C-alpha cells in the first residue's frame, strides 16, 4: 500500500471514529438522563407514600400502622423510626433485629426536620435501593421519621437492557460504516490509483490506453480531462515529430547539394572557369534556399512563441495603400515574368492591422501567384467590404489548386507539386505563415479556384470599431 492510500484510510478511520464516539456519548447521556428521570419519578412516589403512612399513624397508632404496612404494597418498603434512630417498625424485616438508623444520611436529614433521599446498597436486603425520608412531627417538634424505599434492581435491569441494545445498535452501525467505507474506498481510491498509474504512463509518452468512464461524476470528469489532455499531447507530439522530420528533410537536400558541388570544385573543377562559375552559382542558389527556409522558420517560431499582444502592433491602415505597398514589394519579380498586377479597390477602407505583418502575408500570397503563374498573366488584388468583414484578395491565372489539396494547403511544408515548388525556390512555409498572421489578427484565410483558370486567396478580417 502506498502512502497516499494509507492517508485516505486514516481519514476514513478518523471519520468513523468520530461517528462512533458521538454515538457512544449520546447513548451514555441518554441512559443517564433516563435514570435521573426514573429516580425523580420514584422519589415522588416514595414521598407521597411516606405522607400517607404519616397520616395513618396520626389517625391510629404505630402498632396498628405497622400491622397495616406488612400487608400492603410488597414492592415498597416502609420503615418507621423514632427520634433516637431506633427502628420502631419495618414492612420487610423484624424491627427488633435492626440496628440504630440515626446515621443513615436520609434519616439524619429527616430527624433534623428536612426531607432526605439517598441511593445505596442495602446490606439488609442485598440490593441497591432508593430511600426517601420525611420527618414525623407533633406540636411542631420532630418525633421521628418515616422512610420509604424501593429496590432499584428493576431500573438497573432496564438500564442494563438499554445499554445492551445500544451496544447491539453500535455494532450494527459499525458494520454498516465499515461496509460504506470499503465501498467508498473501492469507488474512489481504486480509480484514483488507476488514474495516477495512467498519468505516469502519459508522462512517459505512452498514450496507447485511455482511462475508462468512471461511475462517480467528479472522478469521471478527472478521467475525461486526463484523456483529453493525453489526446492533445499525442497530437502535439506527432506534429512535433512530423515538423522535425520535415525540417530535417528540407535542410538535407540543399546541404548535400552544396557539399557535392564544393567537393567537385575541390576535385579539380575549379580550374575550369566555366564550371567554376556554374557550380558556384548553384552553391549560391542552394545557400539562398537554406536562408529562405531558416528565415521562414524563424518567422513562424516568432509568431508562435510570444503572446499575441507582444507581436502585434495594431494600427489603422488604408486597405488600398496596403495592397499597393505589398504589390510594389513584388514588382520586380512580376516584371521578370512580364506579369501585370492589377489593383482593384475603392479608397477609404480602413483596417486595423500590424502593417509589417499584414504586408508580409500579402507579399507571400502575391509571390505565390507570381511563382505559380506562367509568363504574361495578370494578378488582381482587390478589397471588398461585406457586412462586418473586409476581404483582401489575390487572384491569379495560374494552374489553380486541385480541390483535394485545399484542406491541407495551409499546413507547414504542404505542397501540391513538391518538385515544382522546390524548383522555383518555395520553402513550403509561405501559406502557413499567412495563416498564422491572419489568425492573430482575428481573421481567416480562404482559397477557391476561379472556375477553370487560376485561384483566389482571400484574407478575411473582422471590422474593428
Contacting positions for ligand ADP (CB under 6 A): 368-369, 372, 396, 398-399, 401, 409, 414-417, 421, 426-432, 455
Contact present, 352 and 464 (Cβ < 8 Å): yes
- Number of residues written out for the chain: 465
CB of 299 to ligand ADP, least distance (A): 12
Nearer to ligand ADP by Cβ, of 311 and 401: the residue is: 401
CB of 461 to ligand ADP, least distance (A): 20
CB of 325 to ligand ADP, least distance (A): 20
Nearer to ligand ADP by Cβ, of 209 and 405: the residue is: 405
Nearer to ligand ADP by Cβ, of 146 and 370: the residue is: 370
Nearer to ligand ADP by Cβ, of 258 and 432: the residue is: 432
CB of 389 to ligand ADP, least distance (A): 22
CB of 244 to ligand ADP, least distance (A): 18
Nearer to ligand ADP by Cβ, of 5 and 415: the residue is: 415
CB of 397 to ligand ADP, least distance (A): 10
CB of 320 to ligand ADP, least distance (A): 22
Nearer to ligand ADP by Cβ, of 339 and 432: the residue is: 432
Nearer to ligand ADP by Cβ, of 181 and 401: the residue is: 401
Amino acid at each position: 500500500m502506498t502512502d497516499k492510500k494509507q492517508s485516505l484510510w486514516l481519514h476514513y478511520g478518523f471519520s468513523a471514529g468520530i461517528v462512533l464516539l458521538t454515538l457512544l456519548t449520546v447513548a451514555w447521556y441518554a441512559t443517564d438522563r433516563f435514570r435521573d428521570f426514573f429516580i425523580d419519578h420514584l422519589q415522588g412516589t416514595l414521598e407521597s407514600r411516606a405522607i400517607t403512612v404519616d397520616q395513618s399513624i396520626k389517625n391510629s397508632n404505630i402498632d396498628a400502622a405497622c400491622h397495616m404496612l406488612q400487608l400492603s404494597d410488597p414492592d415498597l418498603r416502609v420503615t418507621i423510626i423514632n427520634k433516637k434512630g431506633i427502628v420502631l417498625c419495618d414492612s420487610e424485616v423484624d424491627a427488633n433485629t435492626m440496628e440504630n438508623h440515626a446515621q443513615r444520611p436520609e434519616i439524619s436529614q429527616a430527624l433534623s426536620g428536612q426531607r432526605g433521599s439517598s441511593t445505596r446498597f442495602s446490606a439488609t436486603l442485598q440490593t441497591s435501593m432508593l430511600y426517601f425520608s420525611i420527618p414525623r412531627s407533633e406540636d411542631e417538634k420532630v418525633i421521628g421519621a418515616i422512610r420509604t424505599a424501593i429496590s432499584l434492581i428493576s431500573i438497573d435491569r432496564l438500564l442494563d437492557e438499554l445499554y445492551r441494545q445500544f451496544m447491539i445498535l453500535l455494532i450494527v452501525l459499525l458494520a454498516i460504516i465499515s461496509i460504506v467505507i470499503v465501498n467508498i474506498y473501492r469507488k474512489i481510491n481504486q480509480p484514483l490509483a488507476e488514474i495516477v498509474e495512467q498519468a505516469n504512463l502519459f508522462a512517459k509518452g505512452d498514450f496507447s490506453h485511455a482511462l475508462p468512464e468512471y461511475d462517480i461524476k467528479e472522478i469521471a470528469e478527472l478521467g475525461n480531462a486526463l484523456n483529453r489532455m493525453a489526446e492533445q499531447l499525442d497530437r502535439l507530439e506527432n506534429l512535433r515529430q512530423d515538423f522535425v522530420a520535415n525540417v530535417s528533410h528540407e535542410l538535407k537536400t540543399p546541404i548535400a547539394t552544396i557539399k557535392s558541388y564544393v567537393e567537385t570544385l575541390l576535385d579539380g573543377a575549379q580550374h575550369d572557369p566555366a564550371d567554376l562559375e556554374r557550380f558556384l552559382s548553384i552553391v549560391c542558389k542552394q545557400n539562398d534556399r537554406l536562408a529562405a527556409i531558416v528565415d521562414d522558420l524563424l518567422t513562424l517560431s516568432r509568431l508562435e512563441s510570444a503572446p499575441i499582444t507582444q507581436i502585434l502592433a495594431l494600427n489603422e491602415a488604408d486597405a488600398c495603400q496596403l495592397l499597393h505597398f505589398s504589390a510594389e514589394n513584388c514588382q520586380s519579380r512580376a516584371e521578370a515574368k512580364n506579369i501585370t498586377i492589377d489593383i482593384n479597390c475603392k479608397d477609404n477602407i480602413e483596417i486595423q492591422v500590424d502593417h509589417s505583418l499584414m504586408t508580409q502575408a500579402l507579399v507571400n500570397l502575391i509571390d505565390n501567384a507570381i511563382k505559380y503563374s506562367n509568363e504574361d498573366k495578370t494578378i488582381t488584388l482587390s478589397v471588398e467590404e461585406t457586412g462586418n468583414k473586409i476581404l483582401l484578395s489575390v487572384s491569379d491565372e495560374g494552374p489553380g489548386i486541385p480541390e483535394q489539396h485545399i484542406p491541407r494547403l495551409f499546413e507547414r511544408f504542404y505542397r501540391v507539386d513538391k518538385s515544382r515548388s522546390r524548383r522555383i525556390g518555395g520553402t513550403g512555409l509561405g501559406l502557413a505563415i499567412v495563416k498564422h498572421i491572419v489568425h492573430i489578427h482575428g481573421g481567416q484565410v480562404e482559397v477557391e479556384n476561379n472556375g477553370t483558370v487560376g485561384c483566389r486567396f482571400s484574407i478575411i478580417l473582422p471590422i474593428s470599431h
